[in-house]
Amino acid sequence: MSIEKRMLVRELKLIAARPGDIFKPMWFTLLVISMVPLALAPDSQLLAEIGSAMIWVATLLALLLNTEHLFQSDFSDGVLEQWLFLDRPLAWLVGVKLIAHWLFNVLPLILITPVAGLMLSVSTEVLLALFITLLVATPALTCFSGLGAALTLGSSRSGILGVLVMMPLFVPVVILAAGVLIRATDGSDTLPLLALLGAFSVIAATLVPVAVSAAIRLNIGGSN
């Protein structure tokens, strides 16, 4: 079995050992979504108007929540150090880890958005656009919050810092996603914006693993 396949299997086994890690962010999203009508007004017209944006923000927060400690356990049990000795470039292994994380932890978050959409009476077309935007945008978000997690690995007081540091870099993603949702609401063409969003994700996926591997190297080198 190749190293990549073994990494994926290991991730799956870890999740099977602690399934709560997947469900907590999903639970979080649904809770945030159910707080919206309570805090605002149970007016379904209003909810439908802002619903898609709320779901987007809630999913973004949940994603940050479960990416915050992306490398923490691998760091403390020494797996990251083992990576340095493998005959693969570190950036490549980081890429595999990020893909695994996206598949097993982020994808479930996207899959529950239809439920959240029903709760906020978002129309089907907008919901479809929301779903596609999240699929296209989350790779970039996962990469950036992974970088935040890697940067703060060696610090004892990191807490939510990794997330805060990376938040400003999410701006283009959020703006473009909101543009797609607005266009979907009035039925105009969403493809050009989705293309830009996709471009951002592709660039993030090619370049960020290199930065993440530099961050991991410096944290492993400096902590002992």
Partner 1 sequence: MGWRWFHQWGSPRWFYERARRWQLVCGWLALILLTLGSLWGLGFAPVDYQQGNSYRIIYLHVPVAFLAQALYAAMAVCAIVLFVWKMKLADVAMQSIAVAGFAFTALSLISGAVWGKPTWGTYWVWDARLTSMLILAFLYLGAIGLRAAFQDPDQAGKACGILILVGVVNLPIIKYSVEWWNTLHQPASLKLTEKPTMPASMWIPLLINILGYYIAAAYLVLGSMRATVLERERRAIWVRELVNGA
Partner 2 sequence: MNPKRKQRLFIILGMVSGLGIAVGLVMYALSQNINLFFTPTQIVKGEAPSAQMIRVGGMVADGTVDRDPQSLRVAFEVTDFDHNVRVSYEGILPDLFREGQGVVVQGRINEGQFVASEVLAKHDENYMPPEVTEALRQSGKLDQMIGVQKQ
Reference 211, options 134, 98, 106, 103; nearest CA is 98
Residue with Cβ nearer partner 1 (14 or 214): 214
Stretch that binds partner 1, among 47-55, 59-67, 76-84, 205-213 (CB under 8 A): 205-213
Q: Does 186 help bind partner 2 (rule: CB under 8 A)?
A: yes
Q: Does 219 help bind partner 1 (rule: CB under 8 A)?
A: yes
Distance CA 142, CA 161 (A): 16
Q: Which residues contact 140 (CB under 8 A, 6 or more apart)?
A: 173, 197, 200, 201, 203, 204, 205
CB of 192 to partner 2, least distance (A): 4
172 binds, among partner 2, partner 1, none (CB under 5 to 8 A by kind): partner 1
Question: Using CB under 8 A, which of 45, 171, 189, 191 touches partner 1?
Answer: 171
Question: Using CB under 8 A, which of 78, 89, 192, 222 touches partner 1?
Answer: 222
Question: Using CB under 8 A, which of 147, 149, 180, 184 touches partner 1?
Answer: 147
Residue with Cβ nearer partner 1 (3 or 165): 165
Q: Which residues contact 116 (CB under 8 A, 6 or more apart)?
A: 29, 30, 33, 55, 58
Q: Which residues contact 94 (CB under 8 A, 6 or more apart)?
A: 146, 150, 209, 212, 213, 216
